[in-house]
Amino acid sequence: MLISRQEPPADEGGPGYELYEFDAREWDAVLEDLFGTSLLGQSARRRWAEGLEPSITTHLLVPAREDGELVGLALLELPQRDNTHLAFVSIVVPAAHRGRGIGAALFDEAAAIAEADGRPNLEIWTWDALVEPGPGTISARQGDGAIDAAAPGARFLLKCGFQLVQVDTMSGWELPPQAELDATAAEASAATPDGYRLVHWRGDTPERWLDDAALLQAAMSTDAPTGDSDLRAEVVDADRIRAVDLGRRIGGLDQLVTAVEHDGTLVAITRLVHDGERPQVGDQWDTLVLGPHRGNGLGWLMKTANHAAIRAAWPEVTTLVTGNASENRWMLAINRRLGYRPIAASGWFERRAGDDGAQ
């Protein structure tokens, strides 16, 4: 087996792009095997574009080959503006090649790369079936989600010295008739206190709102639950918002954003993302209401308004998916009220410097 290191291609379809295609295909297979659907997956183009702005994040690909055949892949995401003490790692091995030490070899190489780059923390997510807490499961310190400790991903990571720092609940929702969406949005608007105004945009963030969007994104990095992890505040400015917008467009993603303005400033935001290569699915991303404005129904207001706008923008969408930290009871309650239902779990595992012994 040959394990190598490869920089990502500068152009879609360039040398090395087949590694992103392999990654997307094999993760879709994992999802299909676990849940009978790949709705939670990501396209190759989307993943590739996430590493196009090296001042924010760089990618490094670590393929494993046997006789020229790809038998596994590790993908490292290395933040550049903040959180430079950690590396995000993804490892996938096709079912036909599992149980032969390929994943372990890829992990060792990824860990060595991170260590050489001065990144003592490793962050890895797993896909898991929904289970209730009980014997044979593990839970993070915060939240009530659980992971089967005997599941292959969890078992491997615990052996490598990782700790479970958060469990996300992944949910799906089949869009109801448009009249129902419109009525819910109208009711939410009527119940909102005076002084708040909805702001909408599709695609790139308008220049008028770049600075406000940057402040909200920075707040998201500290306000959103991150469990017991060592994830730290992001450094976000207008230029970073522009760069993220560009990367999203190059990656084939469109976005619908609804925000709330109060006294000339944005105080809340939510966004839906649509991948043109997966036309039937909309992905609910971040939702944030700044602390002083919570308790006014702004999360409900924004989400219902954004949902009512989906069909006009993306008529192909029939299903929405989203993920919430198990300790984020407020947002989970909103999503259940909307109609989202749990379909999967995702474990966030972290290994910090010195935690490389077996559990």
DSSP label at residue 119: -
Q: How far apart are CA 283 and CA 279, in angstroms?
A: 11
Q: How far apart are CA 160 and CA 357, in angstroms?
A: 6
Q: Examine the pLDDT at 355 and tell me if it is beyond 90.
A: no
Q: Any idea which of 103-107, 199-203, 331-335 has the lowest mean pLDDT?
A: 331-335
Q: What is the crossing angle of helices 238-250 and 210-223, to 10°?
A: 90
What size, in residues, is the chain?
359
Mean pLDDT of 191-210: 98
SS3 249: helix
Q: Examine the pLDDT at 344 and tell me if it is beyond 70.
A: yes
For residue 144, the model assigns a pLDDT of 79
Contact 246, 203 (CB under 8 A): no
DSSP label at residue 6: B
Mean pLDDT of 39-68: 96
Q: Examine the pLDDT at 63 and tell me if it is beyond 80.
A: yes
| Beta-strand relationship, 69-79 and 57-66 | antiparallel
For residue 228, the model assigns a pLDDT of 87
Instruction: Return the residue matching tokens 């490389």.
Output: 356
Q: How far apart are CA 334 and CA 326, in angstroms?
A: 13
Q: Examine the pLDDT at 359 and tell me if it is beyond 70.
A: no
CA torsion, ordered 246, 250, 251, 252, to nearest 10 deg: 110
CA dist list (Å): 327 to 227, 333, 352: 8, 11, 22
Q: Examine the pLDDT at 16 and tell me if it is beyond 70.
A: yes
Other Cβ atoms closer than 10 A to 164? 23
Q: How far apart are CA 19 and CA 359, in angstroms?
A: 32
DSSP label at residue 203: S
pTM, two decimals, is 0.95
For residue 358, the model assigns a pLDDT of 40
Mean pLDDT of 189-203: 98
For residue 357, the model assigns a pLDDT of 45
Q: Give the rounded percent of residues in the chain with a pLDDT score beyond 70.
A: 98
CA dist list (Å): 164 to 84, 125, 140, 158, 311: 21, 10, 5, 8, 38
Average model confidence (pLDDT) for the chain?
A: 96
What is the rounded end-to-end Cα distance, in angstroms, of the chain? 28
- Structural tokens at position 311: 């069909």
Q: How far apart are CA 345 and CA 138, in angstroms?
A: 13
Mean pLDDT of 340-348: 96
| Beta-strand relationship, 86-92 and 281-289 | unpaired
Report residue 134's pLDDT band, with 50, 70 and 90 as the boundaries: very high
pLDDT, one tens digit per residue, over 275-324 is 999 999 999 999 999 999 999 999 999 999 999 999 999 999 999 999 99
Mean pLDDT of 204-225: 96
Q: Maximum Cα–Cα distance for the chain, whole Å?
A: 67
